[in-house]
Amino acid sequence: MSKLILTCAVTGGSHTPTMNIDIPVTVDEMVDQSVAAAGAGAAVIHIHARDPEDGRPTADVGLFREYCQGIKERSDAIVSITTGGATGQTIEERLAPIRQLKPELATCNLGTMNYGLFQMVPKYEGRWKYDWEEEFLLSTKSEPFVSSFADIEYMLTELADETGCRFEFEAYDVGHLYTLAHFADIGLVKPPIFMQFVVGTFGGIGPDVENVVTMKTVAHRLFGDDIEWGVLGGGRFQFDLVTAGILLGGNARVGLEDGLYLRKGRLAESNEEQVQKIVRIIDELSREVATPAEARERLALKGLENVGY
């Protein structure tokens, strides 16, 4: 079996610092945690941006530039910049960091969807660290995340041509795989195709191992074997579902964007700690993690020397 491409999502655009004070917010925290996660075995570092003053999700290109430059100075990890950002951001805002920084890899959400975070509000009532958080979570009850067919086509044509980046496709449900197949059929997506099955997000496919099997089965039926797929497990399901994906032959993704806990009742203290745990699991399953160089070759990336930061 090939080595696993391990991704670490160090901070989310839709999750709040209240739930874990160890979520990185400042530039130094973002860079330090990213470099530590890479040192622990993550070949890919996936990043969103946060206002360093209050942790608010932002699409500020200057912040993304500081993160990327800091990581590049201390690591050869692949940086994957979000195009999803956070609900409420326009497509122009979300794509600006890709256009200007020209990373090797960027995410591509495969459809408009209800991305529910509002159901967490009662659990954290009265415990907000910043005054924007409750309103932000509640907004997801009425405001969907938008990624239209036109948005996806633009990313796969003009944005890709302009920047030379490739995409980490995020499929939140089976229908998203058929959307990706459409773009492959018309020649806008070419192998190797790198996709994440996002399992356990409220509004997407549910957190069941059977759903991972379904996603894998459909993906291979649509694309054959020339794909790189992995599992992103949401919240408390993170390590169970990621491990199931590994057992089924997939790659892996962990990080504080996806889940805040290391185990039941124990908040993770850092992204590095989560990476260390999944690397131990991978080792116990007699598998290995890929280096950044090996991941670049597998994903046909343009190389760190060709980025714009």
Per-residue pLDDT of the chain (309 residues; tens, 9 = 90+): 789 999 999 988 765 555 566 789 999 999 999 999 999 999 999 999 999 998 888 999 999 999 999 999 999 999 999 998 877 788 899 999 999 999 999 999 999 999 998 988 888 787 787 888 888 889 999 999 999 999 999 999 999 999 999 999 999 999 999 999 999 999 999 999 999 999 999 999 999 999 999 999 999 999 999 899 999 998 889 999 999 999 999 999 999 999 888 999 898 999 999 999 999 999 999 999 999 999 999 999 999 999 999
Total domains in the fold of the chain: 1
Domain residues for 114? 6-306
Domain membership of residue 124 (yes or no) is yes
| pTM of structure | 0.95
Domain membership of residue 290 (yes or no) is yes
- Domain of 14, CATH number, reads 3.20.20.70
Domain membership of residue 260 (yes or no) is yes
User: 97-112, pLDDT tens digit by residue?
Assistant: 999 999 999 999 999 9
Domain membership of residue 1 (yes or no) is no
Give 264: exposed, middle or buried? Use CB within 10 Å, 0-12, 13-18, 19+: exposed
